[in-house]
Chain A
């Protein structure tokens, strides 16, 4: 099975290669991973709650195991949480509708292809499945969005 931290790091570098998205996030440093390291990392509920504006948090949600098509044993679930910037004084304000479009359709890694059209880790991951986009509200009642992604692994990678 592929190491999940490798997948998360690759998702982050891929998102950081979408120029417009990085601008909307006020810099690549605001596109970050949540890690599950006891004693170091906060709980996921705290990390999402404390997300600054704007920022993106990439989270490993788990892996589905099974014999999906006789060649796929693992499907890795990754969620991209987004908090948009305050655009009250912007002439051309961008909301979640625009941010989601950038993530799903924006060209990545200096190519003309988007995240849905490339093998994130060649030889180890297949093209991602069509993502789901879901609206949420945090503990303060403020709306935000997440993009749920599934990355099928090729065979049993290492």
Chain B
């Protein structure tokens, strides 16, 4: 089995346990290519600075996803809706195991 497949196999239970869907949070991904919105899963991760007003006021969210499981792959400028609040993808950090941390900023 390829290493990336092993990583995916290891991460699947973590996503099932700690993912947004397991927490009852709906995350809708809207790519900039107008291919249409889709529901995705991922893990809301600690941002670089803790915020004083949570959760509805969170200005910055880090969202861990299985990058290659999402088609099209998330890019800067795509949008995510987390429980109804819209966030823009400011940065995408893809690792060698084809996971990604999406840096999200809330839209005004």
In Å, the complex CA distance between A85 and B77 comes to 10
Q: How far is the CA of A53 from the CA of B59 in the complex (A)?
A: 9
B2-10, B12-20, B45-53 - the one binding chain A: B45-53
Report the interface size class on chain B: 20 to 34
In Å, the complex CA distance between A88 and B59 comes to 19
Cβ of A91 < 8 Å from any Cβ of B? Answer: no
How close is A96's CB to chain B, nearest CB, in angstroms?
14
Question: Is B11 in the interface zone, CB < 8 Å from A?
Answer: no
Of A26, A30, A55, A139, which contacts B48 at CB under 8 A? A139
Please indicate the chain A residues that have their CB under 8 angstroms from the CB of B105 in the complex: 52-53, 83, 140, 142
Taking a contact as CB atoms under 8 Å apart, the answer to whether A50 and B107 are in contact is no
B29 on the A face (CB < 8 A): no
Check: A49 CB closer than 8 A to any chain B CB. yes
User: Is there contact, CB below 8 Å, between B79 and A139?
Assistant: no
Residues 45-74 of chain B, each 1 if its beta carbon lies under 8 Å from chain A, else 0: 001110111000111100000000000000
Q: Are A86 and B60 in contact (CB under 8 A)?
A: no
Q: Is the CB of B108 within 8 A of A50?
A: no
> In the assembled complex, how far is the CB of residue B75 from the closest CB belonging to chain A, in whole angstroms?
8
Q: In whole Å, how far is B52's beta carbon from the nearest beta carbon of chain A?
A: 6
Q: Does A121 sit within 8 A of B, measured CB to CB?
A: no
Within 8 A of B (CB), among A124-153: 139-142
Chain A residue at smallest Cβ distance from B90: A142
Contact of B77 among A42, A51, A86, A139 (CB under 8 A): A86
Determine which of A27, A49, A140, A141 lies in contact with B108 in the assembled complex, contact meaning CB atoms within 8 Å.
Answer: A27
Q: Is the CB of A50 within 8 A of B59?
A: yes
The chain A residue with its CB closest to the CB of B76 is A88
A53/B91 in contact, CB under 8 A: no
